[in-house]
Amino acid sequence: MTTPSAPSDVLLRGVWRENPVLVQMLGLCSTLAVTNTVANSIAMGLATSFVLVCSSVLISSLRRFMPNQVRIAAYVLIIATFVTVADMMLEALVPDIHRQLGAFVALIVVNCIILGRAEAFAAREPVGRAALDAAGTGAGYILTLLLMGTVREILGSGSFLGVSLFGRSYQPWVVMILPPGGFFMIGVLLLTRNWWTRRAHARLAAPSPAEVSGRRPTRLAPEREGAAV
């Protein structure tokens, strides 16, 4: 029987250790498509996190009443309901961004991040832990979108949130706001995270100075000492 994780671990693991994009490789379609600007990244990240948290809480609340045979259909119905709410909120509050996001808001319904957390965690855990897991996963998703959107907008348009940073003399890297720029950035982030993880594991595996100094040097047998000389 496994020991349940601490609430802080449930909340934080989705940000880095089990990041939905950089580790689980989920939600890549929207990640690559909408991160050409910071505003689009924020809007998509917040909308997806809203749907993720609300659907996880409701699925966890109703998990004992859902027949196993129709659970996936029930998940999709619940997720679609909150996607409709998010879509209407974006259209009312930020119509320009909603127009730029286009069909990707509606496609949140089939985002594997949301359906995956519903099936793997929310349907098996209490409401509080499901909410923490969803909030942490949503934060990790938003962080990844922001990293990609910030770099792509600065290099591809020379601006941040629509505000010019380098003046008219700057020659933008147009490729960064095109699909190849999304693939390039996700590759850079994956490479950076893997390098950081390997470095951290190597540091933990290396013996501490106290352990090294506490070891006694091995003494060769007499016949081997003579052979060594």
Residue 214's pLDDT is 61
Average pLDDT over residues 68-97: 95
Angle, helix 38-61 to helix 127-157, in steps of 10 degrees? 170
- Could you tell me the two tokens for 164? 């010019």
Average pLDDT over residues 147-166: 93
- The ranges assigned to domains in the chain are 7-150
- Bridge partners of residue 164, in order along the sequence: 159
Please, are residues 130 and 56 in contact by the beta-carbon 8 Å criterion? Answer: yes
pLDDT at 16 over 90: no
pLDDT tens, residue by residue, 178-216 = 999 999 999 999 999 999 999 988 888 877 665 656 665
Separation of alpha carbons 102 and 30, rounded Å? 11
**Helix intervals (H) in 70-178:** 71-93, 95-101, 112-117, 127-157
Residue 55's pLDDT is 97
Separation of alpha carbons 55 and 125, rounded Å? 13
pTM of the full structure: 0.86
Between CA 73 and CA 191, with CA 134 as vertex, the angle to 5 degrees is 105
Average pLDDT over residues 14-26: 92
